[in-house]
Structures are given as structure tokens and as C-alpha cells.
């Protein structure tokens, strides 16, 4: 079962919010993406979320293809929730929210780096075919 629908809305932002717009959804994904959490109890302790709610969110993520649920095999091992590529690419959403909160609410404790060399990373608006930076105020939406 997915989240609530935005039936009149045909834009892709609405489609995305139908999958990750519920309370806790993006924070669970944040823990999966940036803290490498994979276990039920890790998420629960991190967020203080009720277990029934967490179970539903994880189930919804699996149904939506954002996560894969690995059951423990006969030989033992652990059950865990792993992000798919589809889920992983929501990183950019978390990053823009974080950057906005850092600037407009309060600087938070987290900074994003390149894993290989630890250099700081930014999300930048640019013209698609070149390197020209664009200011957010200049962006407009057009029908395709």
C-alpha cells in the first residue's frame, strides 16, 4: 500500500511525493543513505518512531521499489533493508532539503563530501549544455 495520492496532479513532483511524502519517509531514507542503516531496530532507535509505523513505511518502500528486503537465509545471516538504485537517487532530495535547512533554519551537524577524497560537494544549478551557473530566481517551468 502506497501513500496518499494526488490524483489531480500530473507533475512528477506529485508522483514522487506519493512515494516519499508521508511523515518519517524521507528521514528513514536519510538514515539508509547516509548512515548506512539497514535494520529495523537501527531505524527505530534513530528516529524514535513507533514500530507499527516503521513497519508500514518499510513495507511501502519495498512495494515502491525503493528498498529491497533481504530475508535471512537458512544458513543464518541477518534480515535487512537495502536501498535500490531508485531509492539511492533520492539522495539529491535529502541534500537540497539539508542545504535549505542549513541556510534558512539553522546550520546542522552534517556536511556532504566526496567519498573518495573527502572534498566538499555542492548541488549547483547550471545550464544543461555548458557550465554556466544559474540563479534559482531565474528558473522557470515550461510544458515539455
Report if residue 48 touches DNA, rule: CB under 7 A.
yes
Shortest distance (Å) from residue 49 CB to a copy of itself: 9
Which partner, a copy of itself, DNA, none, binds residue 40 by CB below 5 to 8 Å per kind?
DNA
Contact 65/122 with Cβ under 8 angstroms? no
Contact 44/54 with Cβ under 8 angstroms? yes
Shortest distance (Å) from residue 69 CB to DNA: 7
DSSP string, 53-104: HHHHHHHHHHHHTSEEEEPPBTTB---EEEE-HHHHTTHHHHHHHHHHHHHH
How many residues at the interface with a copy of itself, by CB under 8 A?
76
Q: Is 59 exposed, middle or buried (0-12, 13-18, 19+ CB in 10 A)?
A: middle
Q: Using CB under 8 A, which of 2, 35, 68, 70 touches a copy of itself?
A: 35
Contact 3/19 with Cβ under 8 angstroms? yes
Which partner, a copy of itself, DNA, none, binds residue 11 by CB below 5 to 8 Å per kind?
a copy of itself
Q: Using CB under 7 A, which of 14, 18, 31, 40 touches DNA?
A: 40
Site for DNA in 72-131 (CB under 7 A): 78-81
- Put residue 94 in one of left, alpha, beta given phi > 0 → left and psi -120 to 50 → alpha: alpha
Which partner, a copy of itself, DNA, none, binds residue 53 by CB below 5 to 8 Å per kind?
DNA
Q: Contact positions toward DNA, by CB under 7 A?
A: 3-4, 22-24, 39-42, 48-53, 55-56, 58-59, 69, 78-81
Amino acid at each position: 500500500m502506497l501513500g496518499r495520492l494526488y490524483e489531480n496532479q500530473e507533475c512528477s513532483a506529485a508522483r514522487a511525493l506519493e512515494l516519499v511524502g508521508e511523515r518519517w519517509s524521507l528521514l528513514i531514507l536519510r538514515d539508509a543513505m547516509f548512515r548506512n542503516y539497514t535494520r529495523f531496530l537501527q531505524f527505530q532507535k534513530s528516529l524514535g518512531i513507533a514500530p507499527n509505523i516503521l513497519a508500514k513505511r518499510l513495507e511501502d518502500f519495498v512495494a515502491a521499489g525503493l528498498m529491497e528486503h533481504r530475508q535471512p537465509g537458512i544458513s543464518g545471516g541477518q534480515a535487512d533493508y537495502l536501498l535500490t538504485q531508485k531509492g539511492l537517487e533520492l539522495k539529491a532530495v535529502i541534500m537540497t532539503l539539508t542545504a535549505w535547512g542549513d541556510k534558512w533554519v539553522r546550520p546542522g551537524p552534517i556536511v556532504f563530501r566526496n567519498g573518495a577524497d573527502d572534498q566538499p560537494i555542492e548541488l549547483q544549478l547550471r545550464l544543461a549544455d555548458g557550465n554556466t551557473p544559474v540563479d534559482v530566481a531565474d528558473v522557470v517551468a515550461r510544458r515539455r
